[in-house]
Structure 1
Amino acid sequence: MGGGNAPAWVLAAAQFATVVLILALAYRPLGEYMARVYTGERHLRVEKGLYRLIGVDGSREQSWGAYLRGVLAFSLVGILLVYALQRTQTVLPWALGLEAPSEALSFNTAVSFVTNTNWQSYAPELTVGYTVQAAGLAVQNFVSAAVGMAVAIALVRGLARRGSETIGNFWVDLVRGTGRILLPLALVAAVLLAAGGVIQNVVGFREVETLAGGTQTIPGGPVASQEAIKLLGTNGGGFFNANSAHPFENPTAWTNLLQVVLMLLIPVALTRTFGAMVGDRRQGYAVLGVMAALFTASLAAMTAFELAAGGSATQAAGGAMEGKEVRFGIGASTLFGTTSTITSTGAVDAMHDSFTPLGGAMAMVNMMLGEVAPGGVGSGLYGILVVAILAVFVAGLMVGRTPEYLGKKIGPREIKLASLYLLVTPTLVLLGTALSFAIPAVRGDIEATSIWNPGLHGFSEVLYAFTSAANNNGSAFAGLTANTPWLNAALGAAMLLGRLLPIVFVLALAGSFAAQQKVPVSPGTLPTHRPQFAGLHLGTVVIVSALTYFPALALGPLAEGLS
């Protein structure tokens, strides 16, 4: 790259350094606070009232099977409620005169928000009114994030306990995660966003006169309150179709930086919570180190690809500015894009479909790595711990000893569960993409209706959609029209299975580990807090994903980028 790009690199590095500094300041207090929330025995008065209301004994813990049944039942009820709100929108207050979404779109949206995906096959400001936004979508932004945190904490308890038949109480973890962590942080974030210019009102649509003398319809809405939890909970669904590229959601450069911090805040701090709960904070630092290495490498690669875009026009502009907001520029756009795709948030402040082929490929790779750097709220932590289990197993094979992680043996049952966890998402991604082109009628509809850019990029759009859905991310290559019967159903199934099946395997692992006694440390025990294991852990993340997804990437973004 020429010297003309130096200022852009300097600005990008300064923004990244600012984010790192803020996260470092929040890491210890927030991580320790969350550990106290999930290990404390005292229930608040309002929490006791909620337990009585739903018929739960907050002092009684659950087996992993009972914990799982709670997760599944809560998710099913959430899907039904969000679906019903959409289908009855015309009779709800603040419907803004909008019609009810179709059955297929309502199903897709309900599954999307309950699974923390927030995939949107519609323009929100023209499809759903304020009641659906606030009572349906925003509520799920809170509770779906709390479910992810609860599952992660259950796995950590399994690793920390000895000879236990229980892994906690799902309803207690859900209520505490929502009320003690997400709500207070979201309140502070909403105030900061509103102070930065994010709108917060219920005025509906307004007709305004433009500078040219014409008229334009301007939407309003309670945006700041929903924007805060959209980012904190790594949800990603925008109040407006342009998401965080819309000036009402993300008006300035500093609100853009704040949104990046909000996406990373809880997933990063959860590594401290993990270290505190297992009684060895070095383990949390080791996991954080792997996450940080992956994030930094991904950010550097995406930024380099966008700044080095070929062609005289992009060279004159200092990089590929198509689809990016001038108020943010390339560095802030790649920082946001890397963060949103590597944390399962799926929010965008630039159109990923307009990224260079290799820049867009990096957004896809971030999701294909399993979104573990640092990943979604809760899901990133339990995802990278499952990869750590696989890494320990590989190391055990190399040295000829029974593998152990945090004093727990990894036997046939544990490695089978970990392997099933790692196979679910690639199967959904590759199968969904393959069926979209293998079934003649579906392929015809995809090519005639959904894909606007035929050829290699069109394949990339479909591959990105299933990668985003199965990984519960929610971002998209915007050139894809996804509001069709096939994509609503197929992506809905990918989101549902991509969320719930991994949770089944994680909770089964938690139960298996909790029932074990701790194995004493011996001379052959592999230390999992040292740089050697962190390197093995990092390599396992990359190799597993590379071997799985490389053929599909070679057919789409890599072929397009090298052509």
Structure 2
Amino acid sequence: MTFQGWFLILGFTAVLLALAKPMGLWLFALYEGRRTPLHIVLGPVERGFYALAGIRPHAEQGWRRYAVHMLLFNAALMVFTYAVLRLQAVLPLNPQRLGAVGEHLAFNTAISFTANTNWQSYAGESTMSNLSQMLGLTIHNFLSASTGIALAFALFRGFARRETKTIGNFWADMTRITLYLLLPLCIALTVVYIACGVPQTLAGSVDLTTLEGARQTLALGPVASQEAIKMLGTNGGGFFNANSAHPFENPSALTNLIQMLSIFVIGVGLTWTFGKAVGNPRQGWAILAAMMILFLAGTAVAYGAEAGGNPVLHALGVAGGNMEGKEVRFGLAASALFSVVTTAASCGAVNAMHDSFTAIGGLIPLFNMQLGEVVIGGVGAGIYGFLLFAILAVFVAGLMVGRTPEYVGKKIESREVKLAVLAIAVLPLVILGFTALASVTGAGLAGPLNKGPHGFSEILYAFTSAVANNGSAFAGLTAATPFYDGLLGVAMWIGRFFVIVPMLAIAGSLAAKAHTPASAGSFPTTGGLWVGLLVGIILILGGLTFLPSLALGPIADHLAMIRGQLF
């Protein structure tokens, strides 16, 4: 590890924290439906959309109606995307004349982008036409992201409102978030990326002559615009197969920094928005403090492992850190930091190949996802996932002080605890169950490139990434098969929507409750003790649940590496 590396990590953290309140203020304006400076230009567009769609934006919805509208909307988008991919060969904007996407791959991809996972079992530049990238995939990057933020708003209202049956209007939330947050920020970021050298064109490719005199064909397309929403919406689906390791997606250290900030900025802003919504900004800062402790701890371990290198190579006289699978223009610190950022959020973009990390370096991205990606997390999904853990933490605290647990003025009773447990239990049940299935069947065992614990890690990482709606992968796994495309598609749908519905039920239950003022017997939820309890609950639940699988995978891989054995 070097001073420059830590300067990058701590500088990134400082800039991120400085952006938390400004982003939180903007999000709070959208949460409340307030007028913003952009309404002068985009207000008529918003009203026109409501009129065209027959939506009454001020008509409030209960949690069931909110959930049904959200599920139907996403199901329709999934079917639409599947149709676009299957009809790709006969649709326009296909300069490379690519054929239709196969049945199982189209199924997997349609679910993947609907669920904000963006898992890719294909090479984008040789599989997807420009129309498929823009109409079939990029549209999901906006709408799946705005869905997540809208759901966070719904849960905030559950905590903030008193004795009401409604938690907002799904269509109004979606429209405001897309028009006044995601769209303008992405336009600005697209211009920045273009200025930094990222292509933005409808051309399919260009033929060039290399310095050696050879001919080379470079794939092009509308990359900059997709890159902007890919990161800001924590989507992660790359235009190119190499994702953000590709110089056309991520050409420099500056774009690398912008991309990492884009992944986290809405997530940290939502913590401040939550505190403001419940009338106590310190509640939001406490959540952010717990998130940053987990984030910096994971970054330190990952950076230390990669900087420490491989002892087997050291014994052969190859000194230095582990540069395998990393871009020289980024180096160890920026690659390790990016891996933690993208898996602490539900982004999945990569600027280095996680399969080539050391065993412990690869364990950290895996563990981040197994925690439910609540360490900042995906846009919206991170904060509402974190609040599910907060409900369990305040329940434990209530047991310790011998009173009915309370959180931000709402009593947490058996219904909320049961629903929180149900939502949190989805991840381990599906991740471990599907990993076990793939580890004992011929179709599943045909996927890993490596044998032994590293091969098991490749399978475990795939299902963890799918259920956590991340989308990154240990690239050694061959997942473009009917078995993996089908099973991973089911895992992604369960991981997204089987968590959302119980969460919305909690929002509805909390909104109906009266406000309970804090008393001398209440457990304080803004200080260091609360932050420590939150971190402990998250680590204990994640650690105890997944420790056996981690012991069979990356931990066993690390112990074997120390003994001089590689898989």
- Asked if TM exceeds 0.5, the reply is yes
**1:448-467 deviation per Cα after TM superposition (whole angstroms, max 9, x unaligned):** 3x111111111100000000
Instruction: Classify the secondary structure of the residue corresponding to 2:474.
Output: coil
The corresponding residue for 1:76 is: 75
**1:52-89 deviation per Cα after TM superposition (whole angstroms, max 9, x unaligned):** 22221111010000000111011101101110110110
Query: How far did 1:40 drift?
Result: 2.4
The corresponding residue for 1:53 is: 52
The corresponding residue for 1:63 is: 62
382, 385, 389: which is aligned to 1:387?
A: 389
The corresponding residue for 1:489 is: 486
Instruction: Classify the secondary structure of the residue corresponding to 2:321.
Output: coil
Residue 256 in structure 1 maps to residue 256 in structure 2: yes
Residue 464 in structure 1 maps to residue 461 in structure 2: yes
**1:217-242 deviation per Cα after TM superposition (whole angstroms, max 9, x unaligned):** 21001101000000000000000000
Unaligned runs of 5+ in 2: 561-567
Query: How far did 1:45 drift?
Result: 2.3
Q: Which amino acid aligns with 1:17?
A: L
Query: How far did 1:206 drift?
Result: 2.0
Q: Which amino acid aligns with 2:103?
A: E
Query: How far did 1:150 drift?
Result: 0.5
Looking at structure 1, the residues matched to 178 and 191 of structure 2 have their Cα atoms a distance apart, in angstroms, of 18
Map 1:100-499 → 2, pairs under 5 A: 100-311=100-311, 313=313, 316-438=318-440, 443-448=441-446, 450-499=447-496
**1:293-346 deviation per Cα after TM superposition (whole angstroms, max 9, x unaligned):** 000000000000111123374674520001000000000000100000110100
The corresponding residue for 1:559 is: 556
The corresponding residue for 1:32 is: 25
Looking at structure 2, the residues matched to 288 and 25 of structure 1 have their Cα atoms a distance apart, in angstroms, of 12
Question: 270-279 or 32-41, which moves further after superposition?
Answer: 32-41
Residue 13 in structure 1 maps to residue 6 in structure 2: yes
The corresponding residue for 2:513 is: 516
Instruction: Classify the secondary structure of the residue corresponding to 2:19.
Output: helix
In the superposition, the TM-score normalised over structure 1's length comes to 0.96
Instruction: Classify the secondary structure of the residue corresponding to 1:66.
Output: helix
Instruction: Classify the secondary structure of the residue corresponding to 2:26.
Output: helix
Looking at structure 1, the residues matched to 291 and 17 of structure 2 have their Cα atoms a distance apart, in angstroms, of 14
The corresponding residue for 1:532 is: 529
Looking at structure 2, the residues matched to 93 and 29 of structure 1 have their Cα atoms a distance apart, in angstroms, of 41
Kept in 2: contact 1:48–1:58 (CA 8 A): no
Instruction: Classify the secondary structure of the residue corresponding to 1:218.
Output: strand
Query: How far did 1:21 drift?
Result: 2.8
Looking at structure 2, the residues matched to 486 and 224 of structure 1 have their Cα atoms a distance apart, in angstroms, of 33
Residue 94 in structure 1 maps to residue 93 in structure 2: yes
Query: How far did 1:437 drift?
Result: 2.1
Kept in 1: contact 2:439–2:459 (CA 8 A): no
Question: 312-321 or 159-168, which moves further after superposition?
Answer: 312-321
Kept in 2: contact 1:244–1:348 (CA 8 A): yes
Q: Which amino acid aligns with 2:18?
A: L
Cα RMSD after superposing both structures: 1.2
Query: How far did 1:215 drift?
Result: 1.7
Kept in 1: contact 2:167–2:508 (CA 8 A): yes
Looking at structure 2, the residues matched to 110 and 59 of structure 1 have their Cα atoms a distance apart, in angstroms, of 32
Q: Which amino acid aligns with 1:493?
A: V
Looking at structure 1, the residues matched to 540 and 138 of structure 2 have their Cα atoms a distance apart, in angstroms, of 37
Q: Which amino acid aligns with 1:256?
A: N
Q: Which amino acid aligns with 1:39?
A: E
Question: 51-60 or 313-322, which moves further after superposition?
Answer: 313-322
Looking at structure 2, the residues matched to 245 and 458 of structure 1 have their Cα atoms a distance apart, in angstroms, of 23
Q: Which amino acid aligns with 1:306?
A: E
Instruction: Classify the secondary structure of the residue corresponding to 2:218.
Output: strand
Instruction: Classify the secondary structure of the residue corresponding to 1:556.
Output: helix
Kept in 1: contact 2:401–2:523 (CA 8 A): no
- The runs of at least 4 consecutive aligned structure 1 residues that moved more than 6 Å come to none
Looking at structure 2, the residues matched to 507 and 303 of structure 1 have their Cα atoms a distance apart, in angstroms, of 37
Question: 83-92 or 46-55, which moves further after superposition?
Answer: 46-55
Identity, in percent, stands at 51
Q: Which amino acid aligns with 1:278?
A: V
Looking at structure 1, the residues matched to 411 and 172 of structure 2 have their Cα atoms a distance apart, in angstroms, of 29
Q: Which amino acid aligns with 2:425?
A: L
Kept in 2: contact 1:341–1:366 (CA 8 A): yes
Q: Which amino acid aligns with 2:117?
A: T
Query: How far did 1:119 drift?
Result: 0.1
Question: 471-480 or 513-522, which moves further after superposition?
Answer: 513-522
Q: Which amino acid aligns with 1:13?
A: W
Looking at structure 2, the residues matched to 195 and 294 of structure 1 have their Cα atoms a distance apart, in angstroms, of 34
Looking at structure 1, the residues matched to 366 and 490 of structure 2 have their Cα atoms a distance apart, in angstroms, of 20
Q: Which amino acid aligns with 1:40?
A: G
Looking at structure 2, the residues matched to 11 and 90 of structure 1 have their Cα atoms a distance apart, in angstroms, of 49
Q: Which amino acid aligns with 2:457?
A: S
Instruction: Classify the secondary structure of the residue corresponding to 1:414.
Output: helix
Unaligned runs of 5+ in 1: none
Kept in 2: contact 1:447–1:454 (CA 8 A): no
What is the total number of aligned residue pairs between the two structures? 551
Looking at structure 2, the residues matched to 310 and 352 of structure 1 have their Cα atoms a distance apart, in angstroms, of 15
Instruction: Classify the secondary structure of the residue corresponding to 1:140.
Output: helix
Q: Which amino acid aligns with 1:66?
A: R
